[in-house]
Amino acid sequence: MRNLKHVLVFGLALMIFAGCSKEEIQPDPLNTADDVYLKAAKVKNGPDHFVPFKASFELVASFDHFGPLYQIDHQTDWPDFLPGPGPLPGGMHITIKGNGKATHLGKTGLEIVQWWTRLHPSPPPAVTGYWSYGQGSTTFFASNGDELWATYWGWADHQDDTDGTEIKTHGIFTGGTGRFEGATGTFLWEGLFKKDFMPTPATPVGTEFGAGEVIVTGTIKY
């Protein structure tokens, strides 16, 4: 009888130990979910997690003013536009507003503050004759209110403006708000702009003088 009691006690201890061991190795659903989320976050924030960015817009240009130019914040591979000591060159400052659709943003609005000038000393090899150079900063407005920011530089080719001026710019995403905070990436902006007239210094601020269409392609990480 005493031996039977010892066997029962020992067996009960084994059952309790086995139960505890089994409980210890069972994954906690909440912790597992956190682990999956963190792993996903690490992958998303990895150095190679860039995804395609595509957009199309219809836009309208408004005259702002003629005046000195300023270098938009840019990466070192941008053309160095501003000269050394001395008076700054002048150009036409413009505001662009548009609407369209973009991946990651849905229905998207945009606003661009930019300037253009013919005074840049070195046009690209493919552009001869009448050309202009510009820099600008862009804000993309996502359908939920988040903002995506970018800067860019590029060229306008005026060799044949019969159907409009061909514009090609190179852009850099510089961050934003909401889910685009810390966004990085690059894009190419290709469009056709047709002006109704050429503004003069006497043109009232805010006067619309042309419209266009653009296609944007690139990659983004956010």
Query: How far is residue 41's CA from residue 89's CA, in Å, rounded to a whole number?
Result: 47
Query: Domain span at residue 31?
Result: 2-44
| Number of domains forming the structure of the chain | 2
Residues 58, 131, single domain; the answer is yes
SS3 label, residue 44: helix
Burial of 106 (0-12, 13-18, 19+ CB in 10 A): exposed
Q: What is the structure's pLDDT at 69?
A: 85
Q: What is the structure's pLDDT at 89?
A: 73
CATH of the domain at 152: 2.40.160
38: left (phi over 0), alpha (psi -120 to 50) or beta: alpha
Mean pLDDT in order along the chain per 10 residues (222 residues)? 46 45 37 30 54 96 93 67 64 96 94 87 58 91 95 86 88 94 95 94 96 97 92
Residues 210, 121, single domain; the answer is yes
Q: What is the pLDDT of residues 74-89, one digit of tens each?
A: 655 666 666 556 666 7
**pTM, entire model:** 0.73
Q: What is the structure's pLDDT at 146?
A: 96
Q: What is the structure's pLDDT at 131?
A: 81
Residues 113, 213, single domain; the answer is yes
Is the Cα dihedral 10, 15, 21, 24 positive or negative? Answer: negative
SS3 label, residue 54: strand
Residues 12, 32, single domain; the answer is yes
Is the Cα dihedral 25, 31, 37, 43 positive or negative? Answer: negative
Kindly state whether residue 82 falls inside one of the protein's structural domains: no
Residues 102, 203, single domain; the answer is yes
Residues 16, 59, single domain; the answer is no
Q: What is the structure's pLDDT at 72?
A: 81
Q: What is the structure's pLDDT at 16?
A: 42
Q: What is the structure's pLDDT at 87?
A: 61
Residues 107, 208, single domain; the answer is yes
Residues 60, 18, single domain; the answer is no
Q: What is the structure's pLDDT at 39?
A: 32
Residues 63, 131, single domain; the answer is yes
Residues 39, 96, single domain; the answer is no
